[in-house]
Amino acid sequence: MQIWLNYLDQILIYAAFAISLNLLLGYAGQVSVAHAAFGAIGGYTMGYLMMTRGWNFLPTALIGMVLAFIAGTIVALPALKLSVEYLILLTLAISSVIIGVFTTFPELGGTYGLIGINTPDIFGWTLGHPSDWVIPSLIMMLVTYGLCRRMGESAFGRVLKGIREDDRVTQALGKNVFAYKVGVFGITAGLAGLAGAFYSGWLQLATPSVYGFSFALTLFAIVIFGGMANLTGSIVGAAAVVLLEPLLRRVIKIDPATAALLQLVIYGLALVVLMMLRPQGVFPEGFSLWRLIRGKRAPTTRVEMTDSWVPTPTVQVHQIELDEIDDAERSRERRREEVWQNAPVVLEARGISKRFGGIVAADDLDIDFRKGTITALVGPNGAGKTTVFNLLTGFIRPDRGSVKMHGVELVGLSPDKVARLGLVRSFQDVRLVNRVSCVQNVMMAVQGQSGENLGKLMLGGSSARRGEKATREKAMNWLGFVGMADFADVPAGAVSYGQSKLISLARALATEAEVLLLDEPASGIDTRWVDTMLDLVEAVREQGRTVCIVEHNLHVVGRLADHTYFMELGRITAQGTIDELTHREELAEAYFGTV
Amino acid sequence: MLFAVFNAETVAQLTANGIFRGAAYGILGVGFALILGVTGRFHFAYAFTYTLAAYMVFTFKERWAVPFWIAAVVGIVAVGFVGVGIERFIYRPLARRARETALLAIFVASLGIAIAGENIIRLLWSSSSQNLLGPQQEAYTLLKASFLNFDVWEAASSFGLVVILALLLRYTSLGRSIKATRANPELAQTIGIEANQIYLICFFIGTVLCGVAAFWYGLQFTIAPDMGQSPVIFAFVVAFLAGTASSPIRVFFVGIGVALIQQYASIWLSVRWTQTAVFVVLVIYLSWLSLRQTDPIAWAKAKLARI
């Protein structure tokens, strides 16, 4: 019996390690192989303090957790801007440094490590037998599970998933990607430290080989088996990995030495086979064991995506006949230009310049956006229109010049800060977060969610849940606004290109930003939908928001723009109504190549 | 002993050690950089092919009594085909299936191969270390540094192979195809370069190079199932420090540089700290990269595209 309880203890401790690793790997997409090393920090701290200072188990475990948290936070700082390959390498190096440092100190047992750590006791209860460890390990695992689940399945976790798939988009929606990454790295490292203290306490060992590379790989394997971004899966994965050994030894009766090797061969091959057959793991993201047990299936909200589907926005669509531009139309344009000239300036860019090596991407640009109007930026390919968006929103820092919104200087601010101040952009290539639902994509854009604040998430009781409900309502409104409410629970990766453009508009709108920069809102979508899209942009103008569009299609510009800037080779060479611009020969030549 | 004795003799010996060990790091780095740079696969199973090469040579020589040098060549070439097999039957189908998450999927599968491979070797050949016995070992002393004939052969053959690879990349049409694929596989495809073939060739060359390093290591020391773990990390370090799109010669000298840092560190630091010192250098370098806010691979590709 004791031997099976021993396996149970091991499952619980491994599961705790794997759950926090899963938050980092599965939710936030940060591939770290240093999790075992952070565990070692917890284990060694606990062992050292217990052996030399005679401290009690629980306080030493907590100190280990705090030290691992600090180490994790420090490691996260250089790790933030690295691509996946470099992050893997960095965490490999960090593991070697951490384990190397422990091996170097004779006080920590050198290469042998700390052996024979005193039997821990918690509040006078001596944990001498495997049966004593079940309840403390279970509590520790459940605390880890609870914390990670609360972080993963909330507004906070939604941002993590956004970072996993596209950190630029997440930043463009006003999320401080930097703080999230550091936070999640530090917290998961801290939780690994806690699990490490329990692991070492249970083994009564803290040695370099216990936390060596094969342990790191085992944890990785558990997360992959169980399924990324599925915490329950990690528990099942831990059980599968741990129970493989008794299965081989006791059931198939292989001698212990061979069984241990065979176990590793099976892990390894299973990882390869799993990647080939079921890369999402045994329990994929969003799969709930509970729902299955209670006989409920995942909510099916599939909408037939037939050719005849046309979005039905909740705005009044007033069709405008787009005839040849006649005199009446021309006077209408002039009226709009007048409106633009008299509207108050919201955003004012002056002398914006940027060079990449010898290439001038932006040369002394002066641009105004005015309240309640649509400004268009047109020009040939490579004129630098999208670069202007990048320069205004802080994705690229200009060499010179200033961007002021209501008098506040934006140059030098990070893109997320710019977005929070009310200047939000969309992307030409849409860039939805494909593995989450459409409504979640829009929810991500809602500002000031209490569930994104870790303090409120952990200590605020039900406020995060209420906030989540309100966020969903807002998001549903915006989805309804663009006519996509039926697709709320469909994964964003499953909708058509035109639909994804609508969702990306809803996402930009949901930020409630005062100024919206839309990068080719109507390009690449079905001609039947172009008018719907244009109606929506006009409706946004009617709400008093300030819009700037980058567009190739002069038809679209003619319908939407109140004022048009013409760009060539990084310079603004003309401005005025689109009609004025298209009647200037040199511009027509620059744009179309011929007259 | 934090401060060791500092004299000319020590420096000469450390320099010699650094160059010989660095040649191994260098050739490993060149092979890994070729694979990662061209195919984009984070080939962790490089550790397994390294170990397997030494065991193949050992098996041909000791168990099947093949003459030593023939065993060496056959064993190393055979392991090259193992590398090709991994790419063809595991990585390529995975990449096709996983698409945007291919890097992670391949890394995980590669870890799997590394774990399974090491333990299969343990099961087939036993966990204890073996001796790969070859020609007579001879010691020399030059400029107060002593070294073995194997050291010289190892450094010379490694450098020779790296030079051959550099010439191949520079002057042959195959080399130009490899470089074109490295810069942009899709574009290379449009001018009739079969990227899949190039990937296989890179896996063959990269795996043979790591086999050479493993062979010399096995000849000087012993071979063991976990012998690949530490060298492969150094291969990563060297490849990343040098840049995966760099010339093989440059990567090779970065390898020597890393080994020299490691050796010289022992003058000021206790020997136990030297390995940690190398990783600290790496962490500082990566932090610096991160602070520059640039993605070095994208940067290197952009630079290449301009040439």
Nearest-angstrom CA–CA distance, A331 and A327: 6
Contact assignment for A276 to B97 by CB distance below 8 Å = yes
Distance from CA of A372 to the nearest CA of B (A): 36
Distance from CA of B75 to the nearest CA of A (A): 23
A92 lies within 8 A of chain B by CB: yes
User: Which chain B residue is nearest to residue A434, measuring alpha carbons?
Assistant: B100
Contact assignment for B107 to A31 by CB distance below 8 Å = yes
Contacts A429 to B, Cβ<8 Å: none
Distance from CA of A433 to the nearest CA of B (A): 13
DSSP string, A14-82: HHHHHHHHHIIIIIS----S-HHHHHHHHHHHHHHIIIII---HHHHHHHHHHHHHHHHHHHHHHHTT-
B267 lies within 8 A of chain A by CB: no
pLDDT, residue B295, reads: 46
Q: Which residues of chain A have pLDDT under 50?
A: 300-302, 304, 317-325, 594-595
| Per-residue pLDDT at B299 exceeds 50 | no
B97 lies within 8 A of chain A by CB: yes
Per-residue pLDDT band at B1 (split at 50, 70, 90): very low
B1 falls within a domain: no
Q: Which of A258, A272, A276 is the best substitution to test chain B (most B C-beta atoms within 10 A)? A: A272
pLDDT, residue A309, reads: 61
Contacts B119 to A, Cβ<8 Å: 261-262, 264-265, 268
Contact assignment for B109 to A86 by CB distance below 8 Å = no
Partners of residue A114 on adjacent β-strands? A206
- Expressed as residue numbers, the domain containing B162 is 8-306
Contacts A262 to B, Cβ<8 Å: 119, 123
A270 lies within 8 A of chain B by CB: yes
Half-sphere exposure of A236 (CA within 13 A, CB side): 15
Contacts B229 to A, Cβ<8 Å: 213
Nearest-angstrom CA–CA distance, B228 and B50: 6
What's the length of chain B? Answer: 307
B65 falls within a domain: yes
> pLDDT by residue (tens digit) across A218-249?
898 899 888 888 898 999 999 998 888 888 87
User: Which chain A residue is nearest to residue B299, measuring alpha carbons?
Assistant: A83
B 99-128 near A (Cβ less than 8 A):
101, 103-109, 111-120, 122-123, 127
| Per-residue pLDDT at B106 exceeds 50 | yes
B242 falls within a domain: yes
User: Which chain A residue is nearest to residue B269, measuring alpha carbons?
Assistant: A104
**Which residue in A97, A104, A221 is closest to B283 by CB distance?**
A97
Distance from CA of B303 to the nearest CA of A (A): 11
CA B190, distance to chain mean position in Å, is 31
Distance from CA of A288 to the nearest CA of B (A): 23
pLDDT, residue A319, reads: 44
**Which residue in B97, B119, B240 is closest to A264 by CB distance?**
B119
Contact assignment for A261 to B117 by CB distance below 8 Å = no
| Per-residue pLDDT at B286 exceeds 60 | yes
B124 falls within a domain: yes
Q: What is the dihedral of CA A510, A512, A515, A519, to 10 degrees?
A: 0
Query: Which among B303, B269, B284 is positioned nearest to B1, based on CA atoms?
Result: B269
User: Which chain B residue is nearest to residue A213, measuring alpha carbons?
Assistant: B229
Distance from CA of A214 to the nearest CA of B (A): 8
Nearest-angstrom CA–CA distance, A589 and A38: 63
Distance from CA of A104 to the nearest CA of B (A): 6
Nearest-angstrom CA–CA distance, B80 and B206: 8
Which domains occur in chain A, in start order?
Answer: 9-225 (no CATH), 309-422+513-595 (3.40.50.300), 437-508 (no CATH)
Nearest-angstrom CA–CA distance, B94 and B97: 5
pLDDT, residue B107, reads: 87
Contacts B91 to A, Cβ<8 Å: none
Distance from CA of A543 to the nearest CA of B (A): 38
CA A566, distance to chain mean position in Å, is 35
Of the ranges A68-72, B71-75, B124-128, the best mean pLDDT one: A68-72
A77 lies within 8 A of chain B by CB: yes
Contact assignment for A213 to B229 by CB distance below 8 Å = yes
In this complex, how many residue pairs, one in chain A and one in chain B, have their CB atoms less than 8 Å apart?
Answer: 142
For the record, the structure tokens of A347 come out as: 């955003």
More confident position, B272 or A339:
A339
Q: Which CATH number characterizes residue B60's domain?
A: 1.10.3470
> pLDDT by residue (tens digit) across A515-565?
889 888 887 777 777 888 888 888 888 888 899 988 877 888 888 888 888
Average pLDDT of chain B, as a whole number: 82
B233 lies within 8 A of chain A by CB: yes
Distance from CA of A90 to the nearest CA of B (A): 6
| Per-residue pLDDT at B227 exceeds 70 | yes
User: Which chain A residue is nearest to residue B91, measuring alpha carbons?
Assistant: A276
Contacts A266 to B, Cβ<8 Å: 116
B3 falls within a domain: no
Query: Which among A25, A504, A464 is positioned nearest to A224, based on CA atoms?
Result: A25
User: Which chain A residue is nearest to residue B37, measuring alpha carbons?
Assistant: A85
The structural domain count of chain B equals 1
Per-residue pLDDT band at B296 (split at 50, 70, 90): very low
**Which residue in B90, B119, B286 is closest to A86 by CB distance?**
B286
**Which residue in B108, B283, B295 is closest to A275 by CB distance?**
B108
Contact assignment for A93 to B272 by CB distance below 8 Å = no
More confident position, B273 or B71:
B71
Quickly list H helices, A415-564.
415-420, 438-445, 454-459, 463-481, 497-510, 527-542, 554-560
**Which residue in A81, A258, A264 is closest to B115 by CB distance?**
A264
* Average pLDDT score over residue span B9-23: 84
Contact assignment for A267 to B93 by CB distance below 8 Å = no
Query: Which among A308, A92, A104 is positioned nearest to A220, based on CA atoms?
Result: A92
Nearest-angstrom CA–CA distance, A285 and A281: 9
pLDDT, residue A327, reads: 60
B 11-40 near A (Cβ less than 8 A):
36
Nearest-angstrom CA–CA distance, B106 and B41: 7
Contacts B273 to A, Cβ<8 Å: 100, 104
Nearest-angstrom CA–CA distance, B208 and A143: 49
Which of A268-272, A535-539, B200-204, B277-281 shows the lowest mean pLDDT across its residues? B277-281
Contact assignment for B289 to A82 by CB distance below 8 Å = yes
Rg (CA), chain B: 20
A396 lies within 8 A of chain B by CB: no
| Per-residue pLDDT at B60 exceeds 70 | yes
B136 falls within a domain: yes
A256 lies within 8 A of chain B by CB: no
Nearest-angstrom CA–CA distance, A451 and A465: 8
The structure's pTM equals: 0.84
* Average pLDDT score over residue span B291-301: 52
Contacts B224 to A, Cβ<8 Å: none
pLDDT, residue B185, reads: 77
pLDDT, residue A216, reads: 87
**Would the ipTM clear 0.90, i.e. be above it?**
no
B 179-218 near A (Cβ less than 8 A):
none
**Which residue in B108, B111, B276 is closest to A104 by CB distance?**
B276
Report strand pairing: A359-370 vs A374-378: unpaired
Contact assignment for A89 to B237 by CB distance below 8 Å = yes
A214 lies within 8 A of chain B by CB: yes
**Which residue in A96, A261, A272 is closest to B279 by CB distance?**
A96
User: Which chain B residue is nearest to residue A100, measuring alpha carbons?
Assistant: B276
Distance from CA of A492 to the nearest CA of B (A): 15
